[in-house]
Amino acid sequence: MLIERAARLLIERAEVEGRVPCCVRIDGGRIAEVARELAPRPGEERLDAAGGALLPGLHDHHLHLLALAAAERSVRCGPPEVSTREELARALRSARPRGGWIRGTGYHDSVAGPLDRRELDALAPGAAVRVQHRSGALWVLSSAAVERLGLDRGEDAPGVERDAVGRATGRLYRLDAWLRERLGAEPAPDLAPVGARLARLGATGATDATASNGPAELALLEAAAASGALPQRLLVMGRPELPEPSHPRVARGAVKLVLAEAELPDFEAFAEAIRGAHGAGRAAAVHCVTRAELAFAVGAFAEAGAQPGDRIEHAAVAPPELAARLAALGLCAVAQPHFVSERGDAYAAEVDPADLPWLHRARGLEAAGVPLGAGTDAPFGAPDPWRAMRAAVERRTVSGARLGADEALAPERALALFTSPPEAPGGAPRRVAPGAAADLCLLDRPWAAARDALDGGFVAATLVAGRVAYRRG
């Protein structure tokens, strides 16, 4: 394991919480001093901030690191890269198979309608293709892929869709872990490009919200933390069986519970799962993208009792009566504001008109007293917190329409979505102050010049525990 050297660093001429110029001394991974002037000490490295804003490092409160690493080696199958059936066929046919497979991600029905094996066979004849739907809940396999996995010969799992005569349609629901096990020999995805990309965007931490995370996934993430491939702090959610991590930059997060409106679980059993998480000293995080899912989750938390750290992932549809109950229970919500820009135009056609005013809310939730954090949900959303912040401020779709203008946040609130503590999304933002961990994001300009554009390109340096994870140039 790499020994993590404690850095001694003096940051000079920074803007800190609106004060400029400021010096910030870092020692032992923490902020030791903040003052107008500090004299450099022998052996201390120096970093000239040149007047740029020194912010708490960003924490992406919801993403999927292993899926993001895998997506880097996959064919994009949905908007904005691929929008038509012809573009999809071209993308799949020109893809270079890995281990005999073509892996696609980000599919949306607007490209070529609902996919099944026959449609994939027509798009990429003869190839073993698997395409993940943008929702993350569905994989679609071509006939060659179905054949490889033996799905027509009775290999089965709940979630393998079959037609009237029992033949696999190629559609696999919520079978990620099962599929990974079947595919077996796939090399572990390389997390270094993901770690570098997040560092470049000022992210000093990330919460992996993958429901199926268990011992194997934790081992991959801890190995990446130990090797430096992932320089960030990680909070790992997952199954009840997720072990306690041992790497100092990796912590265990909530038990992740997934709801799907089409097949809601037994209410008592679900409340018991929340109690089970609490009994094991963990919080519970519930995936809710519809009104009914949120109502179910809120009911279950009321039944089981809510604890600090309990959270609602997405809260994509949150009408006032449910927002009030979230606040009363002390549940925080982890939103994806950039879905407004990335998916907003499709929502107008797809979402129940009664739900539209309550879609991807931000300001209304905060006003109702719901602590609100945000995550990119990468790879299902773009892995750029700045884009999410910008969307939270502008609430514009790709076509330029505004969606839920009342829900827009001021840039400072948008930033705060990503600067609350990892275990308390929406809690008081972390500060650049003595005693705090030196997890920092340095911009190349003052906040006043950054707040109107909120662009990841402004990040000049990223420090995790005082160590430079990224420095421009």
Nearer to Zn ion among residue 128 and residue 209 (C-beta):
209
Pair 73, 99: CB distance under 8 Å:
no
- What is the x/- site pattern for Zn ion, positions 90-129, by CB under 5 A? ----------------------------------------
- CA–CA distance, 105 with 139 (Å, rounded to integer): 9
- CA–CA distance, 128 with 144 (Å, rounded to integer): 5
Quote the least distance from Cβ 92 to Zn ion, whole Å.
25
Applying CB under 5 A, the site for Zn ion has a residue count of 2
Instruction: Kindly identify the residues of this chain, within the stretch 170-189, that bind Zn ion according to CB under 5 A.
Output: none
Task: Compute the C-alpha angle 40/46/52, nearest 5°.
Answer: 115
Strands (E), 124-180: 128-133, 138-141, 160-162, 168-173
Q: Does 208 bind Zn ion (CB under 5 A)?
A: no
Nearer to Zn ion among residue 60 and residue 121 (C-beta):
60
Contact stretch for Zn ion (CB under 5 A) within 4-12, 94-102, 159-167, 203-211: 203-211
Say which residues have a Cβ less than 8 Å from residue 397's Cβ, sequence separation at least 6. Answer: 340, 341, 344, 345, 403
- CA–CA distance, 73 with 181 (Å, rounded to integer): 19
Nearer to Zn ion among residue 117 and residue 134 (C-beta):
134
Quote the least distance from Cβ 458 to Zn ion, whole Å.
27
Residue type, 163: D
Quote the least distance from Cβ 102 to Zn ion, whole Å.
24
Say which residues have a Cβ less than 8 Å from residue 128's Cβ, sequence separation at least 6. Answer: 97, 100, 101, 102, 142, 144, 145, 147, 148
The two beta strands, 284-288 and 250-258, are parallel
- CA–CA distance, 251 with 237 (Å, rounded to integer): 9
Nearer to Zn ion among residue 290 and residue 462 (C-beta):
290
- CA–CA distance, 139 with 106 (Å, rounded to integer): 10
Nearer to Zn ion among residue 293 and residue 377 (C-beta):
377
Quote the least distance from Cβ 318 to Zn ion, whole Å.
17
Quote the least distance from Cβ 252 to Zn ion, whole Å.
18
Q: Does 377 bind Zn ion (CB under 5 A)?
A: yes
Q: How would you class 419 by CB atoms within 10 Å of its CB: exposed for 0-12, middle for 13-18, buried for 19 or more?
A: buried
Which residues in 207-242 are b (16+ Cβ under 10 Å) and which e?
bbbbbbbeeebbebbbebbbeebbbbbbbbbbbeeb
Contact stretch for Zn ion (CB under 5 A) within 9-17, 20-28, 201-209, 421-429: 201-209
Contact stretch for Zn ion (CB under 5 A) within 91-99, 185-193, 208-216, 329-337: 208-216
Nearer to Zn ion among residue 209 and residue 391 (C-beta):
209
Nearer to Zn ion among residue 194 and residue 209 (C-beta):
209
Nearer to Zn ion among residue 88 and residue 334 (C-beta):
334
Contact stretch for Zn ion (CB under 5 A) within 46-54, 224-232, 289-297, 374-382: 374-382
Quote the least distance from Cβ 173 to Zn ion, whole Å.
16
Instruction: Kindly identify the residues of this chain, within the stretch 339-358, that bind Zn ion according to CB under 5 A.
Output: none
3-class secondary structure, 392? helix
Quote the least distance from Cβ 95 to Zn ion, whole Å.
25
Which residues of the shown chain bind Zn ion in the complex (CB under 5 A)? Answer: 209, 377
